[in-house]
Amino acid sequence: MAQATGFDFEGQPKLFGHPVGLFILFFTELWERFSYYGMRALLVLFLVAQTTGENPGFGWTETEALALYGWYTMLVYVASIPGGLLADRLLGQKRSVMLGGLLLCAGHGILAINAEWAFYTGLLLIILGVGCLKPNISTMVGGLYRPGDDRRDVGFTIFYIGINIGAFLSALIVGWIGEVYGWHYGFGLAGIGMFIGQLVYVSGQKYLKGVGDKPTKQELSSETNFFGEIFRRPVPLIVTLVISAGGLYILSTGTIGYGLLVIFLALAIGVSIVFYQNSNQIEKDRLLVTFLSFLLIITFWGAFEQAGGLMNLYAQDNTDRMLGGFEVPATWFQSLNALFIILLGTPIGLFWLWWKRKGKEASSIFKMAVGVIIMGWGFLFMRGATIQFESTGSSAMYWLVFAYLLHTIGELCASPVALSFITKLSPARYVSFMMGFYFAATGLGNKVAGALGEAAQEAGELQIFTGIAIFCTIIGVLVILILKPLKRLTHGAEDIKDSHYEEQEGYEVADVPE
C-alpha cells in the first residue's frame, strides 16, 4: 500500500497528544459509517414495504429483499479490492478517499429520489464509494504515526470509537426518520451525513500532507503482476480455467450474478496458488493457516450479518415493540451492536489481557474460534424468540437484545485480531493482496447471510436460527481441537510485534492493544 512519504511527524499540530489529522479522519469515517449503517438499517424494510400506504416501498417479497441485501453487502466489501488497487496503482489513498466520498454523496443523494432507476443507481454508487473509501482511510490513520510509535494503537482506538458512534446514531436517527416519516427522507438524511463527512475531509487536507500520496513510478515498477503469473504457470492456470468454465456455464443459464462470482473466485484461487508456489516452507505453512482463517471469517460474517436482513425483518414483523405507549422502531435494534461495542470493548480487551497473563490460551486463532462460537450462541436467543412467537403470536424485545449482546461479545473476541493476525501470517510481498482477500472473505460472508435469509423463507426461521447456532459451534470447536497443529504451522507469527499492514483491526470494533 502507498505509504506516507513526506508527513511531518514532529511539526504537525496536536490535539490531545495526537496529530490533528487523526480527528479529521475520525469525523470523516464517523459520518461515512453514519450514512452506510443508516442505509443498511432501512434497505430490507424499504424493499418489503407495500407499494401503497403512508410510507410505500417496493413491495418485494422477503426472499427477493434478502437476496438483494446479500448481493449489496457482499459487493460493498468486495469493491475494497479494486478500491485498494486504485490507490496502490494510480491515485494514492488520499485521493481515493476523496473520490469515495464524492461517490457516496452522489449515491445517497440519488437514493432520496423516489424512482426505481434512482434506487439502483444509488446502490451502485454507494458500492463504488465504500470500495474507494473504506480500505484506504484506515491505512491513512497508520500513516500519521512513525513505525513503533506507541500512540498508534490509541489512535486506532479513537478512530474506531468514531466508527461506532456513527453506527449507533445512524440506526436511531436515520432508521427513525425512514420508518416514521418516509424511506426516502431517511436515505436523504444518510446523504446529508456523508456530505458533512466530505466537508470535514476536504477542509482538513492541510493536516494530511504527505499521508497516502499517490505511488511513485519506482514503487509501481517494483510490484509483481500476480494475476499475470496465473497464465504463465500450469497448475494455477488449469485450476483457474476449470473453475471459470463452471462460472461460464452458470452464466449461460442466465444466472449472471453467481456466474460472475464463480469467475471471481477462480481468479482468487489462482492467485492463491501462485502465492503458495512462490513461498518457502514456513510461508506455505502460514498461508495454509491464513486460508483456514478466511473460512472462519466467512462463517462469522455469514451469521453476524443477519442483523440487517433476517433479524431486521424479525424485529419488524414478529416482535412486540411496544414500550409503554411508544412503539420502538425496528431499525433501533441495529444500534445495539455499536452501543455494546462502546460499552464492552475495553472490558473484553482487558479480560483477554488478564487471561493471557494467567498463562491461558490467548492466540488469535483461538479468539477467532471462541468469537464464532459465542456469536453463534446468540442465535439460541433468536430460537427462543421464534418459539415464543409460534406459541403466543409475538416475541419479547429482550430476545433480540440478548442476541445482539452475544453477537457483539463474539465480534469483540474475533474481529479485533483477525486482520492483524492474517497480515502477520502473510509474506510481506503479498500482504496487500491478502488484505484484499480478507475483504473478499467478509463480502462472501455477507452473501452467505443473504442466502441464509432467503432459505429461512422456505425452511422456517426456527430451523435457520438453530442451524446457524449449531454450525458456528461445530466450526469453532473443530478449530479449537486442532489448535496445536495450527499454532505450529504459524511458526511463531504471534510473536511478531507489528503486522506488515498499518491497520491493526478488522472492522467496526475499537482495538484494545495487548
pLDDT digits (tens, 9 = 90+) for 314-345: 999 999 999 888 999 999 999 999 999 989 98
In this predicted structure, what is the pLDDT of residue 345?
84
Does 281-506 match 18-223 at the fold level? yes
Q: How many other C-beta atoms can be found within 10 angstroms of the C-beta atom of residue 446?
A: 27
The DSSP line for 458-508 is HH-HHHHHHHHHHHHHHHHHHHHHTHHHHHHHHTTGGG-SS-SSS----SS
Read off the pLDDT of residues 55-79 as tens digits, 9 standing for 90 and up.
899 999 999 999 999 999 899 888 8
In this predicted structure, what is the pLDDT of residue 68?
92
How much is the average pLDDT of 130-151? 79
Q: How many other C-beta atoms can be found within 10 angstroms of the C-beta atom of residue 476?
A: 26
- pLDDT higher than 50, residue 371: yes
- Report d(CA 170, CA 279) in Å as an integer: 45
In this predicted structure, what is the pLDDT of residue 510?
34
pLDDT class of 241 with cuts at 50, 70, 90: very high
In this predicted structure, what is the pLDDT of residue 495?
67
In this predicted structure, what is the pLDDT of residue 471?
95
Superfamily of domain 281-506: MFS general substrate transporter like domains (1.20.1250.20)
Domain definitions of the chain by residue range: 18-223, 224-278, 281-506
- All three cell numbers of 192: 446529508
Q: How many other C-beta atoms can be found within 10 angstroms of the C-beta atom of residue 237?
A: 16
In this predicted structure, what is the pLDDT of residue 390?
93
Under a CB-based contact definition with an 8 Å cutoff, are residues 17 and 151 in contact? yes
| Percent of the chain surpassing pLDDT 70 | 90
The DSSP line for 157-218 is HHHHHHHHHHHHHHHHHHHHHHHHT-HHHHHHHHHHHHHHHHHHHHHTGGGGTTSSPPPPHH
How much is the average pLDDT of 244-258? 88
DSSP code of residue 215: P
In this predicted structure, what is the pLDDT of residue 9?
63
Radius of gyration of the chain from Cα atoms?
A: 22
3-state secondary structure (DSSP) of residue 393:
coil
Q: Which CATH number fits domain 18-223: 1.20.1250.20, 1.20.1090.10, 1.10.1380.10, 3.40.50.2300?
A: 1.20.1250.20
Read off the pLDDT of residues 174-192 as tens digits, 9 standing for 90 and up.
999 999 899 999 999 988 9
pLDDT, mean over the chain: 85
In this predicted structure, what is the pLDDT of residue 508?
46
In this predicted structure, what is the pLDDT of residue 19?
85
- pLDDT higher than 90, residue 479: yes
Under a CB-based contact definition with an 8 Å cutoff, are residues 162 and 27 in contact? yes
Out of 193-202, 349-358, 494-503, least confident range: 494-503
